[in-house]
Amino acid sequence: MIGHSQQIEIVEISMQFESQFIQVGNIRTHYYDVGQGPVLVLVHGGGAGADSYGNWRDCIPVFAKDYRVIAVDMVGFGKTDKPDPETFTYDQPGRNQHLSDFLDVMKLEKVNLIGNSMGGAASIGATLLKPARTNSLVLMGSAGLPIPERPSNELMHNLNYDFTVEGMRRVIGGLASPTFTPSEELVEYRYQLTMDPATKAALAAVNLETRKGTLNFDQELLRTIKQPVLVVNGKEDKVSPIARANRFLELFDNSWGYIMPHCGHWAMIEQTEDFCSTVQLFLSRVTSE
């Protein structure tokens, strides 16, 4: 895990990212676009207060040394539009289509996708919609398969988020390993993102659909993915347990696994250096221009 002084330095660098917007159908979509090289698309998770900056700010400067890094806010999150739940269904098929359409509008023909949690499911979904476009997948604590046991208390902290600062602390505590202490800046950043009324409505709709199980894919359909896949999971992840990671490895023929000790659901934040170096080693074998 990176030290406090290093984290501050990375945050200061990442504050220089320039927000960009593009119209994806009826959804004004926010993203960052940094660096040059093979295209690497980062897709954040679906927890309360999640967005591309908060999830990936430490990783973007590292990856941008060798790749064109595009970090996108999913529909309903961050600075991307939050349609009225009365007219838009916040389910996984909708997120899959939005991500796929975003890649189309950006005219990206060969991409490497990194998805965390719900963003992993969206990366899988976009790959299934247009397989030829995806060069490789990195799934970190990914959704997409049912959990064999009952949802954990740690997951329920997110699904039952009460829009308070203390509630956000519980959300973060459920996502990260007990050894991880979030900065006050991170807590406040994620909390403030949930205060907008449209965000509140969108998050409630996301959680409602999540409870229905719409994040899960048909397992035989997952077997059709033949791209190289790196499955990363925290050993202490209570939101997406190792059993799910193992099942992904069984379903994907061309897959590697990396289990990170002393790590929860937030490998990119809790153990940035380890996560980035592992991903870079994987990408060095599979990326193409």
Is 44 an annotated catalytic residue? no
Report residue 42: phi and psi, to 5°: -105, 130
- Please classify residue 43 by burial: count the beta carbons closer than 10 Å to its beta carbon, then call 0-12 exposed, 13-18 middle and 19+ buried: buried
117 is catalytic: yes
Question: Of the candidates 34, 63, 52, 53, which has an alpha carbon nearest to the alpha carbon of residue 283?
Answer: 63
Count of other CB atoms within 10 angstroms of residue 273 = 12
Whether 253 is catalytic: no
CA distances from 58 to 37, 52, 132, 144, 224 (A): 19, 11, 30, 25, 33
Active-site residue identified among 52, 100, 117, 142: 117
- Judge contact between 40 and 66, C-beta under 8 A: no
Give the C-alpha separation, 127 to 124, whole Å. Answer: 5
Which residue among the candidates 51, 52, 265, 274 is catalytic per the annotation? Answer: 265
C-alpha distances in Å from residue 219, one per residue of 33, 224, 274: 33, 9, 30
Q: Which residues make Cβ contacts (< 8 Å) with residue 85, sequence separation at least 6?
A: 201, 202, 204, 205
Which residues, 6+ apart, have CB-to-CB distance to 241 below 8 Å?
147, 149, 152, 233
Active-site option among 123, 237, 240, 255: 237
The two three-digit tokens of residue 68, written as one number: 């064109």
Give the residue numbers marked as catalytic: 117, 237, 265
